[in-house]
Amino acid sequence: MSHAQPPADAIRLVGEYLAAPDPAEFDAVALAIFAYQFENNEPYRRLCMASGRDPDSVRSWSDAPAVPTAAFTLAEFTTAPWERAFRTSGTTRGDRGVHPFPDDALYRASWEPPFRRHLMPDRDRVRVISLIPPEEEFPDSSLSWMTARVFETVGTADSACYLDARGLHHDALRETLASLDPAGDPVLVLGTTFALTEVLDRMDADGARFTLPRGSRIMDTGGFKGRAREMSRRDLLLGYARGLGVPSDHVVGEYGMTELSSQFYETVLDSTDPAKRVYRGPDWIRTRVLHPDTLEHRHDGGLGLLAHFDLANAWTVSAVVTEDLGYAVDGGFRFAGRASEAEIRGCSLTAAEILGGRA
């Protein structure tokens, strides 16, 4: 018996949930989406069958087999013909994971509410200083896509980008930072850890210091990939305070990935949350911590691989296990860095399981 919902019904269910989340209904929507993806996503169905799971045996979102992020380089996990895709930056082998979808309606519905809650709880508009390359130059970057929506939705007319395919426009950035009135309106700085650290290093080399207006905040998306030198989180926060005058309680970590449609944020600006350095996601995503060897759910609070079930991934596959390590915290997780290949033995997915013996 087929459990799959027609595509329009499955996508409608998710759209309605994103518009008005009801945690009591999460499992019902998740099971409908799993059945739809099992029926219409051939590589995922192969993986599920290899795992001995189908819509008859999966009784909860947490029972759905999770696809390792590395598998997105092997196959297109999609349930419908697609118009565009986001792609990962690639692996050491040069492979790029692909996240395809026929339209970005669910992506648009997913990004804005958590962004506003965690970055804009006190204002509707803000001047944006972006260190993330523009969407028109990097159309397959999910981060550039999101940044373009930030400019459109919350940015003021004087918002600007200072990093593009030519590199960092340091002189223009310095001029902008120097022009800011410490008593003026706050600004929002967006950047990867890589780009933000580059700015801090150049400022140190020049002996430059700036004091951004009170209430300014930084969204740090993480990532040192490509840098010879990494900094501890503590040193980064000290650098932001020293170089830009932005205290640690206004530096918000963002955790997202190409293979997901939703993002997580540290709750530092959420005055109702006492656990400030915890990453929390929106009401339409759930996270588990899995043992690296067995991929079994860790109930002991130990370190493990982060696995997510994202309803907004309705067009592709909702259950994804990452190569990131973390600890479970009530309602969220603490990020503990990237796992090495030796630490993710449970993700030894074979190409045959994905490609149906055609590898």
The pLDDT assigned to 233 comes to 85
Give the tokens for residue 323.
Answer: 């190569």
**Is the predicted pLDDT of residue 260 greater than 90, yes or no?**
yes
Mean per-residue pLDDT, 141-152: 96
- List CB contacts of 217: < 8 A, sequence separation 6 or more: 119, 186, 188, 189, 246, 250, 251, 252, 269
Higher-confidence residue: 155 or 272?
Answer: 155
User: What domains can you pick out in the chain, each with its CATH number?
Assistant: 7-79+284-355 (no CATH), 106-266 (3.40.50)
Residue-wise pLDDT tens digits, 202-215 = 999 999 999 999 99
Q: In this predicted structure, which of 79-88, 213-222, 224-233, 339-348 has the lowest mean pLDDT?
A: 339-348
- CA distances (Å), origin 264, targets 67, 219, 254: 19, 12, 6
* pLDDT classification of 330: cutoffs 50, 70, 90: confident
Q: Return the minimum-mean-pLDDT range out of 4-13, 17-26, 51-60, 290-299.
A: 4-13
Q: 63-100 pLDDT, tens per residue?
A: 999 999 989 988 889 999 988 889 987 544 457 888 98
Query: Mind giving me the DSSP string for 280-300?
Result: E--TTEEEEEE-TTT--B--S
pLDDT band, very low/low/confident/very high, at 153 (cuts 50, 70, 90) = very high
Q: Residue 342 — very low, low, confident or very high, per pLDDT cuts 50/70/90?
A: very low
275 pLDDT band, cuts 50/70/90, is low
CA gap 227, 151 in Å, rounded: 28
